[in-house]
Amino acid sequence: MRLSIFSAIAVAILSATVFAQDMPITQVLIDGEDWELVGEGYGFTEGPAVDSEGNVFFSDPKNHRIYRVGLDGIVTLFAENTQKTSGLMFGPDGRLYGCSRIGKRIAVWNKDGSSETVVEVDDCNDLAVGSDGSIYFTDPKNGRVHYVSPDRKTKVVAEGLAPNGIILWPNEGTLVVTDRTEPHLWTFRIEKDGSLTSKDRYYMPLQLDRNKDRPGSDGMTVDNKSRLYVATNAGIQMFDPTGRLGGTILKPQRKFLSNIVFGGPKFGHLYATCTDKVYRRKVKPTGVPYFQRAK
């Protein structure tokens, strides 16, 4: 008998964490620690991604650039002429993958800032890279999610959505997709061939900003206690391993919040891309990037 997506998530959680009863936001925030400005003056900040050392990279699609934030918090230019690249994520080969919307491609950047085409696409916004080099990416224009196999064959694996952000659970058995129009997130079970099954609503209800009628859900990240964080109009909403809302972290400024990621020394800072600025704050948990996942 096939498990429901709720059962699949429960199995994944129990295999990775100790059972938790209640996980409020107080287990995340540190007294006296607040948002710290990392950089400002950008056209639009998006797609933060962390490398194996904890350095954080983010894109400025309006100005066609990608920047690097070192462990010391200093921002430097990493790549130019990025063709409106938005979502970013490091792959198992240590290179930076991104969604180039004008270039209509999934691209990969080498350490010297040069890029190569992985696959050509019609549209792409955000992506998740698996430990085997496979890729899932969102296609807002066509309401789809696509899968790119390790041998670079592409297929549609979900449609009929308003997809935006996307993330793999640490055990890579579950895919989570945000939907800007719905007060929940979509979850899927990942099959051996990369296909998605058991589509279900989960992580609900999302809180709404009092001035908005939609959540505006965008980028996500997970921590070492299997909590999921999602950037929304209301702030960074944190869900515990059971899918229950544990609280909302206020945005660093009252502007659009696009994405979040754990990075910095020991992956102990939460980074946020918020319109024209990038912020970070020290928190109690640490992140779980792909290179820390169970193989």
Per-residue pLDDT reduced to its tens digit, 40-82: 999 999 999 999 999 999 999 999 999 999 999 999 999 999 9
Residues with Cβ within 8 Å of 157's Cβ and at least 6 positions away in sequence, in order, are: 136, 145, 146, 147, 188, 194, 195, 196
What is the residue extent of each domain of the chain?
5-292
Higher per-residue confidence, 15 vs 222: 222
**What is the C-alpha separation between 40 and 23, in angstroms, rounded?**
33
Record the tokens describing residue 68, joined without a space.
């690097």
Please state the CATH superfamily assignment of the domain spanning residues 5-292 in this structure. Answer: TolB, C-terminal domain (2.120.10.30)
Position 19 scores a pLDDT of 42
Around Cβ 123, how many Cβ atoms within 10 Å?
Answer: 16
Whether the per-residue pLDDT at 15 is higher than 50: the answer is: no
Band (pLDDT 50/70/90 cuts) for residue 293 is low
pLDDT digits (tens, 9 = 90+) for 137-182: 999 999 999 999 999 999 999 999 999 999 999 889 999 999 988 9
Q: Is the pLDDT of residue 7 over 90?
A: no
pTM for this structure?
0.91
Amino acid 108 reads V
CA distances from 163 to 13, 65, 113, 124, 143 (A): 24, 24, 29, 10, 6
User: What count of other Cβ atoms lies within 10 Å of the Cβ of residue 249?
Assistant: 22
State residue 154's pLDDT score.
98
Q: What is the pLDDT of residue 292?
A: 67
CB 122 within 8 A of CB 102: no
Q: What percent of the chain has pLDDT over 70?
A: 91
**pLDDT digit string, tens, across residues 88-131:** 999 999 999 999 999 999 999 999 999 999 999 999 999 999 99
CB within 8 Å of 151: residues ≥ 6 apart: none
pLDDT for res 294:
46
